[in-house]
Amino acid sequence: MKKTRYQACLLISELDDDMILEAELANVPMRRRVGHVMKRVWLIAACMTLLATATILLFLPAMLREYPAPSPIPPLTSEPAVETPEPVVNWVSDPTLVRVERLSASEAVADPDVTEDGNLVSVESQTQYFANQLILIHFSCREDEHVMVEPSSWRSALNPVYLYTAEGDGHTRSYWRFKNEELDGHISVSEELEYSRYKDYFGRPVTVENGDVLLWQYANLALACMEDNFVDFTVVDDEGNITGGGSIYIGGYDLTSMSKNKKYYGESQYGDFGGSFESFCFTNAIYRPVVLGAYRYTNEGGGDNEIQAQCLKELHALALERRESLFADVSSELLRVSVREALADYAWVIGKTGGWGLSSFGKYQNETKYLIMSFANSLDPADHEYLLFLYEGTYRRITGWEVHLQNEYGGMIIGCLYLEDGTVVQVDLRHADQPVTLLPPAETETA
């Protein structure tokens, strides 16, 4: 007799909630039943078609004899107009579906206990990381709905998401809950916030019930600021139908301050950026949480999820277009020119070369007063159109440089930079307290 394994099935029933939830797919029980009905409908339709075809074939010769063929249609003088069917848009914009807000450092961190240990990365200044990058996302779905929130790429997935509910306690493996609805100084961060623990959860959708608030924390600003920093969300009802969705852009940048963060991801944790290079994080990024689109399907509670998912993709494409306009009010003309490419190239320069020449030196701490931004499109030294020198909040183009002593990567240790206004920046990184000295144009001549 065949051995049964009902006990095994019952054992599997006892798996933890988060495992069950994470594996749950949008389920449409009716679809299966509808599918059976549809099969019958198709069968009947096919039979009818066959019958009709047979009838026509049977009577066609007689019909042709009775109705002779009409005279040939005269050729058209111009190409006939091709009618393009109107695209079917089955969703409508719903700005009330989601709203986002940013908490400033002072609002977010009232808890003096948020210490280094509680931060995602155990390097200095990380309290600031924890403090600065809190984005609250409020969804207003119906009670019979929930929202599946998904980072749109691994870059945005680097930022952990916290579900933040009124009476939440403890945490599960798919998200963590803070204890209080208001950020009233009781934020507790469990040990599980260590990066090594939650890195397994990249890309995992988070389920949000109505009234919950998603707390989006920026952990990796260098990556977060660059690209693909979108959060897609889909509203799903209890039957598994997609009833809405949208896309949120959460990002921003402010190049006035950077922080060198070697420990965080300088240990080859990420294949693409692997290596022992030093990486950089923007510590004072200005976040621009923007709802790029939020919509509801007009055929709520039904419809084809595949079509709806396609709509979601289209919306995301629209979101990508809109992103460009987000940068329109950036103060620096040079930044506005090509911010996306610039940031991407900057990352590339840093990542590929382990710090290329001028772009890698400086004192990248919170008290940063100067910074070299290489916005070049290549590593060709002649291509320095976008090479900028930032000093106390002001950008100036670098028009040339001399390297007198370089490090193993070709980065400048001793040398000088020539700025567009004639200023000469003397660089000597051996002196940590005063690594650069600016000689204004007037002094340059005498120097």
Partner 1 sequence: MNDEKIIDLFWKRDETAIKETDKKYGRYCSTVSMSILHNELDAEECVNDAYLSLWNSIPPHRPQVLRTFLGRIVRNISINRHKSTHRQGHNCYMDVSLEELMDELGDCFPSDDDMTNELSGEIKEHLQAFLREQDALNRKLFVGRYWHSYSISRLSASYGLTEGAVEIRLRRTRTKLKKYLNERGISV
Q: Is 96 in the site for partner 1 (CB under 8 A)?
A: no
**Least distance CB 193 / partner 1 (angstroms):** 17
Selected from 173, 316, 396, 397, the binder of partner 1 by CB under 8 A is 173
Q: Is 7 in the site for partner 1 (CB under 8 A)?
A: yes
Residue 50 CB neighbours (<10 A): 10
**Least distance CB 305 / partner 1 (angstroms):** 11
* Region binding partner 1 by CB under 8 A among candidate stretches 26-34, 53-61, 85-93, 156-164: 26-34
User: What radius of gyration do the chain's Cα atoms show?
Assistant: 30
d(CA 199, CA 253): 24
Nearer to partner 1, 172 or 365 (CB): 172
**Least distance CB 80 / partner 1 (angstroms):** 40
Nearer to partner 1, 5 or 431 (CB): 5
Q: Is 21 in the site for partner 1 (CB under 8 A)?
A: yes
- Amino acid identity of residue 216, one-letter, is W
Convert residues 264-303 into a mask of x (bound to partner 1 by CB under 8 A) and - (unbound): ----------------------------------------
Q: Is 430 in the site for partner 1 (CB under 8 A)?
A: no
Convert residues 185-224 into a mask of x (bound to partner 1 by CB under 8 A) and - (unbound): ---------------xxxxx----xxx-------------
Question: Around 357, how many Cα atoms within 13 Å sit in the side-chain half-sphere?
Answer: 19
Of 220-259, binders to partner 1 (CB under 8 A) are 238-239
**Least distance CB 223 / partner 1 (angstroms):** 20
**Least distance CB 146 / partner 1 (angstroms):** 9
Selected from 25, 88, 382, 432, the binder of partner 1 by CB under 8 A is 25
CB 137 within 8 A of CB 150: no
Q: Is 143 in the site for partner 1 (CB under 8 A)?
A: yes
Nearer to partner 1, 9 or 328 (CB): 9
Selected from 125, 140, 172, 365, the binder of partner 1 by CB under 8 A is 172
Judged by the rule CB under 8 A, the positions of this chain that interact with partner 1 are 3-17, 19-25, 27, 29-30, 143-144, 167, 170, 172-173, 200-204, 209-211, 238-239
